[in-house]
């Protein structure tokens, strides 16, 4: 799509547009008239440009683009030769017709042919960041290596207009290969250059392409972002290429295995700056015929994949620590200090952990106002949402401090695992994301050891992975994917959290020392190349055999393939024989909907660890066997605990007697302290989830929760809240909610009194976290003391003469205070919070307010809020639209409202967010995952069936929501009555 006032008739090649195309037929006379009118407009525009250039340089960039391409002399491989002459023959230029060329692929394979591989790119881009234009022009010259003689060159391009393609054997040669046609296959996003004469195997050629595109507002590819300074809009041009969107910015071989070197040049306004993966070389140079623009040239990169390329053109500023810089809006620059403090420390930790120095000469990190992901690990230029990079003392919460450390640690881990060594194909995405998710805990722990990061892993990653992986619609960690929607679909809990959990499990059965040495071998053997999971398994096997920690007849591949190539995870059932002291372990797949348990025959290599009151600690392998029996010297009154510290990726069930022995131990005064906090979290999470599926009697599971009256640690409480919140969601719209409410308040009474509502000086951070979790539930359940405290603090803030500058509410409790006050208040409270949202300069605060605004009990306010979430210039950024839907759907009053809005405005959502946006998937999940009646589930099934072809990246999410909804319906049918009976008897 090109701005109407731009003209490119000076180009002598076919214009090929990628994306949906529309055509209009006109008569010859009308065409002649339009042509004459068109030429007149060009002349008039050129004269206008000439006369106004000295006084209004920024307002006429659109008109200047005509001259840019006529005089683009400093870009290699233009249509004209270096001496200005025309190409040698007309055959050098693209055919002016694409008649007979298929525009849609009839082939299932979306991978590029391997007859040609890129060696290096020379890329030049001019983005026009001007209101009413938002386009970019570019030229790329790709040096290719031909491996198989071929009559075509196939690469990627999407949403680009191709103006000219040239192929030659020598860069400055006058001899061009004759091009028969240039075609696009929209479905596969292929740009195919058909040649009359072949490119020959073993030789190199230069492919030069001129192109144009739009700086879109969908946060994909090369896109635009903005922010305001004193009501003046400032524009930014930036990138997000993972997984398959580099092709939206320039024609490229856009697959992770096709690594190449990149030399990038960016044109920008003189009063702005640009950054890219590598440092700049030399001084900026003027851009011909654009007096307000200069070129920034960058060093050639190391071999890297296209999805890791990044560039940003902005008026941002940075703080620097040596070769490490953090960029932000000028008004937010002070918020970069924490990132600048911990970033170099974490980088140094990883250099030691991996045993390999960071390979690039610099690191830039930048917080962007609009960004679809949380962050992106582009090599040498890491891009972030502001909320996960910027921290403001007394405004950002302690939780955001930890979140920032985790995200920075995650992206810096990628600089080795993902960037230095990259998966061959997206099927092994988990090698990137699972590894970075696990190692981020180690990196974050290196700068915040007091936070017990490795304990929190259990509740933040492991338990979260279980929830999704218990569904039949889950998927293998390593899964075949083809089209972009399928690729984007696996950026989920399975690739991230499950991937991290099985790596943690492997690290524990190998030991950290062996694990590190194996990783070092792997990274050094594949530096600047690509790898598959088998390459990692091979290096770890070699190391574990060398160090004698693994049976010489067993390989890591043999063990780990059962975890990466199979869907789901096992439940290990422990059955004790109290007469002969033997213990039998059995395994089967754990499923949230387990009606066909007997047909489930999937087995794993399970590292079973166990302990008893005598502090015996031992381990044994279940080698893809359904049953294992051991003789243990246990007293009949001794409990047995399996999966010590929950290092294994499996759930554990016991016979009733052993469960009761564990419960007795937990309920003794301080008896729970015998178990590590991670195991207390495990016992709570396993028991309640086992009961929900029918493996365990709910009486036993709920009896486990009784000990919580004396629990004060954050990790076990967080695990309990996750499972108890599920019961909240199931009961909140029923007549029996009061029983649940009374029981939970009974559990919380003592800890609430002890921990209090107000913060105390020198509180440890985990105490701060626990106070938030406790108060959040107490206020939500309507406890008067909590509600009054919230209202009082909110009103004090509301009545402040300078509410945008003076907020005495603790930054760690604001989410609770805001939500509570808005839920019991009316329009005045909502409007006040909305104004604070619009005026806030700290993104963490804006996110807190966005979630709280969904707490209103006024249906019309919630409806308006959803409307604003998908309205341009409403004040809500596109990357926050999904957050609004989550906030409303999380409100019992708003659940059906959000779902109805989703159905009624489906086409609008797809258009506004983009059909391939991950936000769409998030919205589908938040609007449907709480269904617990057959009517709700059936209605969504009908809607999905009518729109299935349109769900794209959200299709798997939709099926998962249906499966979860069906499990919820069965839960209500089978368990609600028994639970109500237990709750009634135990309050």
356-362 long-range contacts (CB < 8 A, ≥24 apart) are 356/416, 356/420, 356/520, 356/523, 356/524, 356/527, 358/415, 359/302, 359/415, 359/420, 360/277, 360/278, 360/302, 360/415, 361/278, 361/279, 361/299, 361/323, 362/278, 362/279, 362/323, 362/324, 362/325
Query: Strand 204-214 to strand 135-146: parallel, antiparallel, or no bridges (unpaired)?
Result: antiparallel
pLDDT in tens, 398-438: 999 999 999 999 999 999 999 999 999 999 999 999 999 99
Structure tokens at 53: 């250039």
pLDDT bin (cut points 50, 70, 90) of residue 600 is low
At residue 20, the pLDDT reads 35
Structure tokens at 321: 């620590």
Q: Measured between alpha carbons, how far is 847 from 404 in angstroms, rounded to an integer?
A: 14
Q: Measured between alpha carbons, how far is 41 from 644 in angstroms, rounded to an integer?
A: 77
Are 453 and 405 spatial neighbours (Cβ–Cβ below 8 Å)?
A: no
Structure tokens at 926: 């938040």
Q: Measured between alpha carbons, how far is 954 from 974 in angstroms, rounded to an integer?
A: 30
pLDDT in tens, 679-720: 999 999 999 999 999 999 999 999 999 999 999 999 999 999
Q: Measured between alpha carbons, how far is 526 from 532 in angstroms, rounded to an integer?
A: 10
Whole-Å CA distances, 464 to 470, 572, 594, 916: 10, 19, 19, 24
Handedness of CA 413, 419, 422, 425 (dihedral sign): positive
Whole-Å CA distances, 729 to 722, 895, 931: 11, 11, 9
Q: Measured between alpha carbons, how far is 288 from 126 in angstroms, rounded to an integer?
A: 12
State the SS3 of 836-903: HHHHCCCHHHHHHHHHHHHHCCCHHHHHHHHHHHCCCCCCCCHHHHHHHHHHHHCCCCCHHHHHHHHH
Coil, strand, or helix at residue 368?
Answer: strand
331 Cβ contact partners less than 8 Å away, ≥ 6 residues apart: 229, 841
679 Cβ contact partners less than 8 Å away, ≥ 6 residues apart: 641, 643, 644, 645, 646
Coil, strand, or helix at residue 921?
Answer: helix
The torsion angles phi and psi of 926, rounded to 5 degrees, stand at -65, -30
At residue 334, the pLDDT reads 96
pLDDT in tens, 724-758: 999 999 999 999 999 999 999 999 999 999 999 99
Are 185 and 105 spatial neighbours (Cβ–Cβ below 8 Å)?
A: yes
Measured from the Cβ of residue 151, the count of other Cβ atoms closer than 10 Å reads 13
Are 295 and 74 spatial neighbours (Cβ–Cβ below 8 Å)?
A: yes
Kind and range of the H or E run holding 825: none
Whole-Å CA distances, 637 to 390, 613, 629, 665, 684: 54, 10, 20, 11, 21
Residue 24 has pLDDT above 60, yes or no: no
Q: Measured between alpha carbons, how far is 639 from 657 in angstroms, rounded to an integer?
A: 9
Query: Strand 221-229 to strand 232-240: parallel, antiparallel, or no bridges (unpaired)?
Result: antiparallel
Q: Measured between alpha carbons, how far is 452 from 441 in angstroms, rounded to an integer?
A: 9
Q: Which of 593, 781, 599, 610 shows the shortest CA–CA distance to 689? A: 593
pLDDT bin (cut points 50, 70, 90) of residue 120 is very high
Q: What angle do CA 625, 627, 630 make, to 5 degrees?
A: 115
At residue 599, the pLDDT reads 52
pLDDT in tens, 806-827: 899 999 999 999 999 999 999 9
Measured from the Cβ of residue 452, the count of other Cβ atoms closer than 10 Å reads 17
Are 443 and 350 spatial neighbours (Cβ–Cβ below 8 Å)?
A: yes
Structure tokens at 177: 């290969």
Q: Measured between alpha carbons, how far is 265 from 138 in angstroms, rounded to an integer?
A: 10
Structure tokens at 645: 């510290």
Is cis: bond before 820, omega within 30 of 0? no
Q: Measured between alpha carbons, how far is 795 from 128 in angstroms, rounded to an integer?
A: 46
Measured from the Cβ of residue 908, the count of other Cβ atoms closer than 10 Å reads 13
Region 583-592 average pLDDT: 95
Q: Measured between alpha carbons, how far is 415 from 420 in angstroms, rounded to an integer?
A: 6
What are the chain's domains? Answer: 16-314 (2.60.40.1730), 317-451+475-564 (1.10.390.10), 570-704 (2.60.40.1910), 858-987 (1.25.50.20)
| Distance from the Cα of residue 132 to its chain's centroid | 31
Coil, strand, or helix at residue 192?
Answer: strand
Q: Measured between alpha carbons, how far is 739 from 385 in angstroms, rounded to an integer?
A: 42
Would the pTM of this model clear 0.85, i.e. be above it?
Answer: yes
Query: Lowest-pLDDT range, 94-108, 115-129, 268-282?
Result: 94-108
Q: Which of 262, 298, 242, 232 shows the shortest CA–CA distance to 118? A: 262
pLDDT bin (cut points 50, 70, 90) of residue 490 is confident
Coil, strand, or helix at residue 3?
Answer: coil
Are 123 and 264 spatial neighbours (Cβ–Cβ below 8 Å)?
A: yes
Catalytically annotated residues: 411
At residue 549, the pLDDT reads 95
pLDDT in tens, 604-655: 999 999 999 988 889 999 999 999 999 998 999 999 999 999 999 999 999 9
pLDDT in tens, 874-931: 999 999 999 999 999 999 999 999 999 999 999 999 999 987 788 899 999 999 989 9
- For all residues of the chain together, what is the average pLDDT? 88
The torsion angles phi and psi of 384, rounded to 5 degrees, stand at -135, 155
Burial string for 704-738 (b: 16+ CB within 10 Å, else e) reads bbebbebbebbbbbbbbbbbbebbbbbbeeeeebe
Q: Measured between alpha carbons, how far is 727 from 738 in angstroms, rounded to an integer?
A: 12
Kind and range of the H or E run holding 789: helix 784-798
Whole-Å CA distances, 655 to 182, 342, 705, 888: 69, 48, 18, 42
Q: Measured between alpha carbons, how far is 315 from 249 in angstroms, rounded to an integer?
A: 21
At residue 633, the pLDDT reads 85
Are 960 and 921 spatial neighbours (Cβ–Cβ below 8 Å)?
A: no
Measured from the Cβ of residue 940, the count of other Cβ atoms closer than 10 Å reads 21
- 484 compared with 657, residue with greater pLDDT: 657
Residue 97 has pLDDT above 90, yes or no: no
Residue 15 has pLDDT above 90, yes or no: no
Sheet of 16-17: strand order equals: 16-17, 160-168, 204-214, 135-146, 116-128, 261-269, 290-298, 280-287
Radius of gyration of the chain (CA): 30
- 516 compared with 487, residue with greater pLDDT: 516
Residue 27 has pLDDT above 60, yes or no: no
Between 737-755 and 765-780, two packed helices, what is the crossing angle to 10 degrees? 150
- Residue entry with tokens 């690729």: 487
- Residue 96, judged by CB atoms within 10 A of its CB (0-12, 13-18, 19+), counts as exposed
Q: Measured between alpha carbons, how far is 193 from 182 in angstroms, rounded to an integer?
A: 5
Coil, strand, or helix at residue 573?
Answer: strand
Between 656-667 and 677-693, two packed helices, what is the crossing angle to 10 degrees? 140
Are 263 and 256 spatial neighbours (Cβ–Cβ below 8 Å)?
A: no
């Amino acid at each position: 799509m090109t701005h109407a006032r731009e003209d490119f008739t000076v180009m002598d090649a076919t214009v090929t547009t990628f994306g949906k195309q529309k055509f209009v037929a006109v008569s010859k006379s009308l065409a002649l008239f339009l042509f004459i009118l068109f030429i007149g407009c060009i002349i008039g525009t050129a004269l206008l440009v000439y006369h106004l250039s000295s006084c209004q340089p920024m307002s006429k960039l659109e008109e200047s683009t005509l001259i840019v391409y006529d005089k683009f002399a400093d870009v290699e491989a233009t249509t004209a030769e270096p001496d200005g002459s025309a190409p040698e023959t007309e055959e050098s230029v693209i055919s002016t017709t694409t008649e007979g060329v298929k525009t849609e692929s009839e082939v299932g394979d979306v991978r590029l042919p391997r007859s040609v591989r890129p060696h290096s790119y020379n890329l030049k881009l001019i983005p026009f960041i001007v209101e009413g234009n938002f386009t970019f022009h570019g030229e790329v010259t790709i040096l290719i290596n031909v491996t198989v003689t071929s009559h075509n060159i196939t690469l990627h391009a999407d949403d680009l207009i191709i103006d000219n393609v040239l192929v030659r054997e020598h860069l400055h040669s006058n001899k061009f290969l004759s091009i028969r046609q240039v075609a696009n296959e929209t479905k596969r996003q292929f740009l195919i250059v058909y040649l009359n004469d072949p490119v020959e195997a073993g030789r190199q050629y230069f492919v030069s392409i001129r192109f144009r595109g739009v700086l879109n507002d969908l946060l994909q590819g090369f896109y635009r972002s903005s922010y305001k300074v004193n009501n003046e809009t400032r524009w930014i041009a930036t990138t997000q290429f993972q997984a398959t969107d580099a092709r939206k910015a320039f024609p490229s071989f856009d697959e992770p295995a096709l690594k190449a070197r990149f030399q990038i040049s960016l044109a920008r306004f003189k009063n702005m700056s640009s950054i890219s993966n590598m440092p700049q070389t030399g001084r900026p140079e003027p851009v011909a015929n654009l007096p307000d623009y200069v070129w920034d040239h960058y060093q050639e990169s190391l071999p890297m994949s296209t999805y890791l390329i990044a560039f940003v053109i902005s008026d941002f500023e940075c703080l620097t620590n040596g070769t490490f810089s953090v960029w932000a809006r000028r008004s937010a620059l002070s918020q970069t200090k924490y990132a600048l403090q911990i970033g170099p420390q974490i980088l140094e930790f990883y250099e030691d952990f991996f045993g390999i120095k960071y390979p690039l000469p610099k690191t830039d990190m930048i917080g962007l106002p609009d960004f679809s992901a949380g962050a992106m690990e582009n090599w040498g230029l890491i891009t972030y949402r502001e909320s996960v990079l910027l921290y403001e003392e007394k405004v950002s919460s302690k939780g955001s401090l930890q979140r920032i450390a985790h995200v920075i640690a995650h992206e810096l881990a990628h600089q080795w695992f993902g960037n230095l060594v990259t998966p061959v194909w997206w099927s092994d995405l988990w090698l990137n994301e699972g590894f970075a998710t696990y190692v981020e805990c180690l990196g974050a722990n290196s700068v915040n050891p007091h936070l017990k990061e490795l304990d929190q892993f259990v509740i933040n990653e492991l338990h979260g992975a279980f929830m999704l992986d218990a569904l039949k619609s889950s998927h293998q960690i390593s899964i075949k994917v083809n089209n972009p929607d399928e690729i984007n679909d696996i950026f989920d809990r399975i690739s991230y959290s499950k991937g991290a959990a099985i790596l943690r499990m492997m690290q524990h059965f190998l030991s950290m020392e062996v694990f590190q040495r194996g990783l070092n071998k792997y990274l050094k053997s594949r530096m600047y190349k690509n790898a598959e999971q088998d390459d990692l398994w091979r290096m770890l096997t070699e190391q574990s055999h060398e160090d004698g920690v693994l049976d010489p007849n067993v390989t890591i591949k043999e063990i780990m393939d059962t975890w990466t190539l199979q869907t789901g995870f096992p439940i290990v059932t422990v059955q004790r024989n109290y007469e002969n002291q033997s213990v039998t372990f059995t395994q089967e797949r754990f499923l949230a909907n387990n009606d066909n348990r007997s047909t489930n025959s999937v087995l794993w290599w399970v590292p079973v660890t166990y302990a008893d009151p005598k502090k015996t600690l031992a381990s044994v392998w279940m080698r893809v066997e359904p049953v294992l029996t051991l003789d243990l010297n246990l007293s009949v009154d001794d409990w047995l605990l399996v999966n010590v510290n929950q290092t294994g990726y499996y759930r554990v069930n016991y016979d009733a007697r052993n469960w009761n022995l564990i419960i007795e131990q937990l309920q003794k005064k301080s008896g729970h302290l015998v178990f590590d906090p991670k195991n207390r979290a495990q016992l709570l999470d396993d028991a309640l989830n086992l009961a929900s599926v029918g493996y365990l009697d709910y009486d036993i599971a709920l009896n486990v929760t009784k000990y919580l009256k004396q629990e004060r640690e954050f990790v076990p409480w967080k695990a309990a809240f996750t499972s108890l919140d599920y019961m909240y969601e199931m009961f909140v719209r029923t007549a029996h909610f009061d029983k649940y409410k009374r029981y939970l308040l009974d559990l919380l009474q003592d800890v609430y009194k002890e921990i209090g509502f107000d913060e105390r000086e020198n509180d440890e951070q985990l105490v701060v976290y626990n106070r938030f979790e406790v108060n959040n539930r107490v206020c939500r359940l309507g406890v008067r003391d909590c509600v009054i405290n919230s209202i009082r603090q909110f009103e004090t803030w509301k009545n402040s003469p300078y509410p945008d500058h003076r907020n005495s509410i603790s930054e760690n409790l604001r989410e609770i205070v805001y939500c509570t006050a808005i839920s019991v208040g009316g329009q005045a409270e909502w409007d006040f919070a909305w104004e604070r949202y619009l005026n806030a300069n700290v993104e963490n605060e804006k996110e807190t307010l966005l979630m709280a605004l969904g707490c209103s009990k006024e249906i019309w306010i919630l409806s308006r809020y959803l409307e604003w979430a998908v309205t341009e210039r409403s004040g809500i950024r596109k990357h926050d639209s999904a957050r609004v839907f989550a906030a409303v759907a999380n409100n019992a009053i708003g659940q059906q409202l959000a779902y109805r809005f989703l159905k009624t405005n489906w086409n609008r959502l797809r258009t506004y967010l983009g059909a391939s946006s991950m936000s769409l998937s998030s919205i589908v999940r938040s609007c449907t995952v709480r269904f617990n009646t057959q009517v709700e589930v059936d209605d969504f099934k009908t809607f999905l069936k009518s729109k299935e072809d349109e769900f794209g990246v959200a299709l798997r999410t939709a099926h998962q929501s249906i499966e979860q909804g069906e499990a919820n319906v069965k839960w209500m049918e089978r368990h609600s009555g028994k639970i109500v009976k237990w709750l009634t008897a135990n309050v």
